[in-house]
Structure 1
Amino acid sequence: MKLSADILAFQVRLGHVFAQPDILMRALTHASISSATRPDNQRLEFLGDRVLGLVLAETLLEADRRATEGQLAPRFNALVRKETCADVARQIDLGAVLKLGRSEMMTGGRRKEALLGDAMEAVIAAVYLDAGFVAARDLVLRLWGERIGAVAEDARDAKTSLQEWAQARGLPPPSYVEIARDGPDHAPQFTIEVRLASGQAERARAGAKRQAEQAAARALLTRMENADD
């Protein structure tokens, strides 16, 4: 199979040259453009999720032999969640080589977080099928890189931590309100406000609701913890 210049360049960014390039092309094919002769990447996504999970679970266990399951689980979740996979996909400009249907291209599919995260998992599976587990593990460790070493001691997401902070003080769970949505349809920006029953609130803006909620929760949690000191 003769590969285009953009796919050859992507292999360089990825750090893996495929002996079976058809597997890579399947990993890059979204369901919006699939056909009977062009299978999409959903099955590879399923496999890649499991390969990624095994690599990171094994790595976290080795990195901290004294950590409990309760400490390891949130670290693991922080590393495998869709947002992290999408960040890694952006790091190697995976969106530029995705094969999308017209509707997805028109609505900014190359930048969509869920789509990028799914495709990143599919690419991991493609490397696994092309060259085996060691190659897939080396790829994950290289691409996730500093994220693994920097994962917080307690990597529970900010929304969970803020809810626990509120409950410990007899308050109901925080509420999240969408204050604004602007920008083009293919790249919307959300402004979210988190509120405590005691009256405190913080706002944050991001390209996805969940990111904005997390950022607002993190800001309010930091503010309240500082007030407790």
Structure 2
Amino acid sequence: MLAKRLIPCLDVADGRVKKGVNFVNLTDVGDPVEIAAAYQQQGADELVFLDISATNEQRRTMADLVEEVSAQVFMPLTIGGGISRVDDMQRILKAGADKVAINSAAVANPALIKAGAEKFGNQCIVVAIDAAWDEAAQMYRVYTHGGKKATDLDALDWAQQAVALGAGELLVTSMDRDGTKAGFDLNLYQALGEVVAVPLIASGGAGNLADFVEVFDQAPVDGALAASVFHYGELTISQVKQALAAKGVIVR
């Protein structure tokens, strides 16, 4: 069995790490290069860097900042935000990324997933999905543009399509749980695990040690991503790993 991964996330806007609740009310957390270096020292398994304003500002991800971050870390680095072409992927990979995450651009142009996978390999292509439960439609609805635009897509259907096109991993954020510290949306990841076989990264809702234990115990996820609890020092990577190991969860 593969070891479970703990993945801090840097949501970056205007060159600074930001964090909000349910994708709004963002507050400044600090310098991404310094924070990345701290997570390297803590023993994070991977790092996700999302340029959260790139798509809405219709610009490309800041490659120079990616280079600075990659110089500080020796763990796998996933970069997303503003990546809408294969050329963008190549530029970010050259800047030091190990994987690229695509979200809004993949929804607008699903062929981008296939093109990226064919050029760089499936393991390089992470499709990020932002989803919120729609009670009226009885489905997890996909949102794009940093959670600002609702689509007609059902997250489970879109996940299957993304994998069929070549996504090697899915990073799925529960918008309902984002920043709430109310625990991961187990129903979402259990449902996804029934329809796709690629690695799943759970994002949104981590608030305490029990939440990490629960998501690995009760949902078929390979990694758990968190921001607030790590950024504000409420938990450290090592604390979470110790708690997981004590419950029999295999960690690195």
TM-score (norm 2): 0.20
- Give the helix-richer structure, 1 or 2: 1
Structure 1 or 2: larger strand share?
Answer: 2
Greater Rg over alpha carbons, structure: 1
